[in-house]
Amino acid sequence: MRAVVVRSLVKKFGEFAALRGISFEVEEGEIFGLVGPNGAGKTTTFRIIATLLLPTSGKVAVYGRDVVSEAHEVRKIISYLPEDAGAYRYLTGFEYLKLIAEIYFGKGRDSEEALELGIKLSGLGDRLYDKMKTYSKGMKRRVQVARALMVKPKLAILDEPTVGLDVLHARDIRDTIKDFSKTYETTVLVSSHNMREVEELCSRVALINRGRILVQGSIFDLLKDHGVPDLESLFIRLVKGD
């Protein structure tokens, strides 16, 4: 079964068309990248898949469930990490993860297991017990990634998971995502404007610009077919010819 199927998706905000009939599919268990510059339509696409925005037209299904008519069922099997996810300044990282675990699972063994996994995924050690107002941006992002993954969703939607982070923190988060997806066979849909990073993380990608998909497929095949060394070179070539 396809994890995500997007067909002729259009989203308009007034007269502005943020998405102009995009289509792509995500295979179960893969890490798929939606890649493009800021304002390309990545976040709008993710919010529709996450049932937070209604499409103007087109269809989106997550594991066979329609995101409009079956939104409640979709929400049971996904997690969504927004690009601008904040932190509760006066909670510790531990308290925050515990709160999320209990929201999802109540009090009991499932909640405890989710919390244990979140603690491990955060990688913060004893700092997890400090208030989040003392955390660096990288630490806050690690807690948010842990929050999104610890509930073991069938589909994790991660919007710019390493945005604004230094090289070391970004690599830690990429490694966490890759290891988690492999260990728990979780499908991951990730967006980024950092194309070099996506080459490390994803097996297949769709390049998006101005609300349209320019090209999609396996990274290896795309680079080979277009005779370019990397995704950044491919994107520049496609945009110039767009």
Residues of the chain by 3-state class (helix, strand, coil), percent to 5: 45, 30, 30
Question: Of 97, 50, 57, whose CA–CA distance to 78 is shortest?
Answer: 50
Backbone angles phi, psi at 70, to 5 degrees: -125, 35
Distance of CA 205 to the CA centre of its chain: 13
pLDDT score for 165: 87
pLDDT over threshold 80, residue 241: no
Q: What is the dihedral of CA 212, 214, 216, 218, to 10 degrees?
A: -140
Ordered domains of the chain (ranges, CATH):
1-23+56-76 (no CATH), 77-217 (3.40.50.300)
pLDDT score for 47: 98
Strand partners, 206: 34, 216
What are the tens digits of pLDDT across the range 183-210?
A: 999 999 999 888 888 999 999 999 999 9
Distance CA 239, CA 225 (A): 17
Distance CA 192, CA 153 (A): 20
pLDDT band at 242 (very low <50, low <70, confident <90, very high): low
Burial of 90 (0-12, 13-18, 19+ CB in 10 A): exposed
What are the tens digits of pLDDT across the range 145-179?
A: 999 999 999 999 999 999 888 888 899 999 999 99
pLDDT score for 118: 98
* More confidently predicted of 233 and 85: 233
pLDDT score for 197: 87
pLDDT over threshold 70, residue 82: yes
